[in-house]
Structure 1
Amino acid sequence: MSLPRRALVTAAGAFAAALALTGCGSGATGASADLAPAKGSTAPNGTVVNLSPNQNRVTTPKVDAIAALVPEEIRKKGTLSVVDSLGSTPPLDFYADDDKTVIGVEPDIAYLIGDVLGLKVEINSGSWENIFVGLDSGKYDAGLSNITVTEERKEKYDFATYRLDILGFEAKKGSGLKVTGAKDLAGKSVGVGTGTNQEKLLISWSEENVRNGLKPIDIKYFSGTEFYLALSSGRIDVYVGPNPSLAFHVAQTGETEIVGTYSGGGADVLGKIAATTHKDNGLVKALNGAINEVIKNGTYGQVLKRWGLDNEAVKTSEINPPGLPKPKQ
């Protein structure tokens, strides 16, 4: 699923050539960006993004009382094995300009957690599916990869929340679209990544429109960055994906805009992103305690600000809060 940055740069060059013909912008995985940002990139809040391997990350002291909550097996090895699904998805997780160092808000939060727990953090990258396979087998201790809390996942995993799950709707600048709910997309052609929570949202919205006598949503499926060319050529009217990566892309190009946001949990649940660990392995309380510590001491806010995600902050970390409901049978 992940690509070396050299391949991404090549893709970016080809993509730029296509843009000369079609007049649009660049990148996003199953809902995020597959093109590496350029030097001098800015986050949505105007912060200049450090793309070098020398991240000068925000750090925080160890807290013995919270570190004592770590299961003995993990405490003895002295490391916290964290997995993400690297797809070059700025500002979540992507390669620095050395082609190998993983940077972004997810690793930054993982390192903060490690600081509080007194553990060395090991970042591992794999496919989305292998995150859960690795958690199941015990290969990885925790997943930090924009993972949404869902009721179905709660049957197998424990969650400690650390960010709001906000979906974005991206369209060409000047489209006139405003998306607040299902009716706004009736009859529209909408791109989405397959197997994602946003796909489930679109399907439910399309069914709602039909029940209300409106046109269904014409759902189009994309992987990688294909959808940006579809947007620029008018083959789709809008794309829905995680707001962090879409907003980051908008800030880079100025050629598209976010025309609406929505909770990743749907209308009835405030969607939340969480550090994920295998159910009942004893680690979730330590993760929760560490996240609440960095929220309290302000380092969490500093990390979100450096990646332009101030608006996705949570006031407190929760263990296993209400998640996205199970699909109706």
Structure 2
Amino acid sequence: MKSRRTVLASAAVLAALGVLTACGTGDPAAEVKPEGKEGPGLNLGPDQKRIRSDKDEAAAAKLPEAVRKRGTLVVGVSSGEFPPLNFHATDDKTVIGVETDLATLVADALGLELDLQSASWENLFVGLDSGKYDAAFSNVTVTEERKDKYDFATYRLDDLAFEAKKGSGWTVKGPEDVSGKRIAVGSGTNQEKILVDWSKENEKAGRKGVDIKYFQTPTDYYLALQSGRIDGYLGPNPSVAYHVASAGQTETVGKFSGAGAGLQGKIAAATKKDSGLVEAYAAALDHVIANGSYAKVLERWNLSTEAVEKSEINPPGLPRVKG
């Protein structure tokens, strides 16, 4: 039988290291059961049977007329592989994950057909600037700097986590705990900013800074973690939690708000500032929260702890970078 992809390209499950855990009686690649979890596991096949919502006429009425006439909601998502946020199904084509599912709910509530398009992280914002995308659903954190150019409608709490090899004996509570450590982080992300700030804080206090490492793909940094070339990885809590549960070879050694100390970070649908779309997104999100479909999506991806009670438009975000 022709071989099919049996691991997530992000190395959430690394078959090369023998950490794939599957269940079910069908295609073993179609479901992954995180270690210690009960139930049928996660559906990783192209037929997602996504949770859907009814239309909210009041939310749809808030859309610009041009979008209503077009009948589609063009949403950009990151082309990277970051389960359970967004990644490819076992057919290597269909984009799946919590971000895709939530974008689907918003499109449903607005009475629009979802037109999902993948792009690199940088090009997501280029696409928003040019009007190519109506929104980005890609684990985008609200920041004060981003609010200069974009409007935001929140839909999840933003938590980050440090991941290390199991049994590391390492706990991260603050900057001093990463002094001198080799930490992998995604370029251009809020977690990079926090790590850079922590490194500067350590140096100012006379401690060693952080040896920040960058890799092209999640597969690369997980292989580096397993081989001991890095001490840890700082990334979105959903991705870390998913990998820890699925692989069974690493552990979460620290967790905190993506906005840093004193402020709970928020993940939001991003849209071009003054595009006239953000109020419609917030109303649609409030509708799917109220009808229960939102909670079902988060439960499906084991992210219920990151639920919000209502969507906020442009809430306080990650502080500006100080010169």
- 8 Å CA contact 2:170–2:253 kept in 1: the answer is yes
**Partner-residue secondary structure (3-state), 2:214:** strand
Match of 1:298 in 2: 292
In the alignment, structure 1 residue 76 sits paired with structure 2 residue 63: no
Match of 2:151 in 1: 158
Match of 2:134 among 141, 144, 148: 141
Return the alpha-carbon distance in structure 2 between the equivalents of residues 240 and 43 of structure 1. 20
- 8 Å CA contact 2:8–2:81 kept in 1: the answer is no
Distance 1:38 1:166, change over 3 A: farther
Distance 1:237 1:150, change over 3 A: same
C-alpha displacement at 1:10, in angstroms? 8.8
C-alpha displacement at 1:97, in angstroms? 1.6
TM-score by length of 1: 0.88
Return the alpha-carbon distance in structure 1 between the equivalents of residues 6 and 271 of structure 2. 32
- Percent identical among aligned pairs is 59
Match of 2:211 among 208, 213, 218: 218
The 5-angstrom pairing of residues 20-99 of structure 1 reads: 38-42=29-33, 46=37, 48-99=41-92
Match of 1:171 among 161, 164, 175: 164
**Structure 1: runs of 5+ lacking an equivalent:** 27-36
C-alpha displacement at 1:328, in angstroms? 0.7
Query: 2:288 corresponds to which letter in structure 1?
Result: V
Query: 2:234 corresponds to which letter in structure 1?
Result: V
**Structure 2: runs of 5+ lacking an equivalent:** 21-27
Return the alpha-carbon distance in structure 2 between the equivalents of residues 233 and 16 of structure 1. 15
Match of 1:279 in 2: 273
Return the alpha-carbon distance in structure 2 between the equivalents of residues 263 and 11 of structure 1. 23
- 8 Å CA contact 2:158–2:257 kept in 1: the answer is yes
Q: Deviations over 1:208-250 (max 9, x none)?
A: 2223333222222222121122211222111101111111111
Return the alpha-carbon distance in structure 1 between the equivalents of residues 300 and 9 of structure 2. 27
Match of 2:24 in 1: none
Match of 2:240 in 1: 246
C-alpha displacement at 1:58, in angstroms? 1.0
Residues paired across the two proteins, number = 308
Match of 1:34 in 2: none
Query: 1:309 corresponds to which letter in structure 2?
Result: L
Return the alpha-carbon distance in structure 1 between the equivalents of residues 9 and 211 of structure 2. 32
- 8 Å CA contact 1:209–1:215 kept in 2: the answer is yes
Aligned Cα RMSD in Å? 2.2
TM-score by length of 2: 0.89
C-alpha displacement at 1:193, in angstroms? 1.8
Query: 2:128 corresponds to which letter in structure 1?
Result: L
